[in-house]
Amino acid sequence: MANALKLCCDVVRWFPVVFITAIVLWSYYAYVVQLCAFTVPSIAEKVVYLILYHPLLVLFMWSYGRTIMAAPGKVPRQFYLNKQDSDRLTRETNEEVQKAILMTAAKDLPIVNRTSSGLPRYCEKCKCIKPDRCHHCSVCGLCVLKMDHHCPWVNNCVGFTNYKFFVQFLGYALIYCLYVAATSVKYFISFWSGHGNRDMGKFHVLFLFFVSIMFGISLISLFGYHCYLTASNRSTLEAFRSPIFQSGPDKNGFSMGKYGNFVEVFGESKKEWFLPIFSTQRDGVSFPTRTKQANTYQTMGKTPSVGDGVNYPTRTVDLDSDGLLAERQRWMEEGGELGTGDSTGSSQQLITMSQD
Ligand SMILES: [Zn+2]
Ligand SMILES: [Zn+2]
């Protein structure tokens, strides 16, 4: 029964991908056959439209495919607690002992991010110390390296392994929509004003323009937002809650300047900026920071609770995996309605609750 339900969920999760693919296939037919072959009168115009259209479609579908297919970045073996330690940590009720177990486990790991109480971030579900910028995705059921969000439109986690492809997918999808809209607008107007008498073909061209404008408008803000995030070296999750460093929470902690931030995701070779080929720098586990970070083991436990004006409660367990705050975190990491609702209010409420 549980297996059937899981299978059902897995199938349903592919619906958005099937939907997007169907729209693109239909747009191919509407553009190439109905618009270019049957509607556009000039041969030269047909040829130019088709020559520009196909590379754009290939780049769009290629980056989309790579975003879907990329396996989410997995936490390396050395970040996992051994069975004995993880069992002890679960059983232990004494905070000091819990702290000691975590500190010992994190001793040789390359981490600078910590919880608000200055401890290594720990995932209770995966039983591992979270590498910097890593978060647990409740949809995927695992900790994902440099997790950005879980995107239903690609049925995958967007993170270290595919963030570049995701941004390219948004960019090429936007250009595709604008291109289709720009080249079909004059035929749209002529059909709309009652000229031309081909029945079905007319509807395909009318819809082609409508659909491309509609998707184009929604993509502008999404693509713009991810360009801004890339330029400031923040993930969607980090934009909502700043990573915590030795000096406290710092939303620009990983920022190496606009160009440096871009290169970190897109690589140094200009050719690779435009192609969906993996060129993201580093290993997804450790990242350069704006200020030099001291060795983690000696400095854990000494985080002042000052930073960007947010007062974090003193806690032993990382907010990500904590019972009281898990609800908000899960909501954030599922990539749900980010930015809607009163998140400040609810976090304030949760902080008050946790201080009781
Ligand atoms: Zn996890
Ligand atoms: Zn996920």
- Nearest bound ligand to CA 73? 2
The residue-averaged pLDDT of 265-291 equals: 91
Same domain, 262 and 233: yes
Decide which of 292, 316, 331 is a domain's last residue. 292
Decide which of 233, 258, 292 is a domain's last residue. 292
Q: Whole domain around residue 120: which residue ranges?
A: 77-130
User: Please, what is the angle between helix 163-192 and helix 43-69, to 10°?
Assistant: 150
CA distance 203 to 218: 23
Same domain, 126 and 162: no
Q: pLDDT tens, 314-343? A: 343 444 443 333 333 333 443 333 333 333
Question: Which amino acid, one-letter code, is at 326?
Answer: A
Q: Cβ distance 290 to 234 under 8 Å? A: no
Same domain, 45 and 171: yes
What pLDDT score was predicted for residue 42?
93
Domain count, the chain: 2
Q: Please state the pTM of the whole predicted model.
A: 0.83
Same domain, 229 and 278: yes
202 pLDDT band (50/70/90 cuts)? confident
What pLDDT score was predicted for residue 301?
58
Same domain, 82 and 111: yes
Please list all protein residues whose beta carbon sits less than 5 angstroms from ligand 2, which is an ion: 137, 139-140, 150, 157
Same domain, 163 and 275: yes
Q: What spacing in Å lies between the alpha carbon of 305 and ligand 1's midpoint? A: 25
Q: Residue 149 above 80 pLDDT? A: yes
Residues 151, 157, 177, 227: which is the catalytic one? Answer: 151
268 pLDDT band (50/70/90 cuts)? very high
Give φ, ψ of 20 to 5 degrees: -60, -45
Same domain, 63 and 192: yes
The residue-averaged pLDDT of 215-238 equals: 96
Q: Residue 252 above 80 pLDDT? A: yes
Active site residue 157: no
Same domain, 119 and 169: no
Taken in order 350, 351, 353, 354, the sign of the CA dihedral is: positive
Same domain, 31 and 66: yes
Q: What spacing in Å lies between the alpha carbon of 173 and ligand 2's midpoint? A: 22
In a domain, 140, yes or no: no
311 pLDDT band (50/70/90 cuts)? very low
What pLDDT score was predicted for residue 68?
97
Q: What spacing in Å lies between the alpha carbon of 205 and ligand 2's midpoint? A: 37
Q: pLDDT tens, 24-39? A: 999 999 999 999 999 9
In a domain, 336, yes or no: no
CA distance 71 to 136: 15
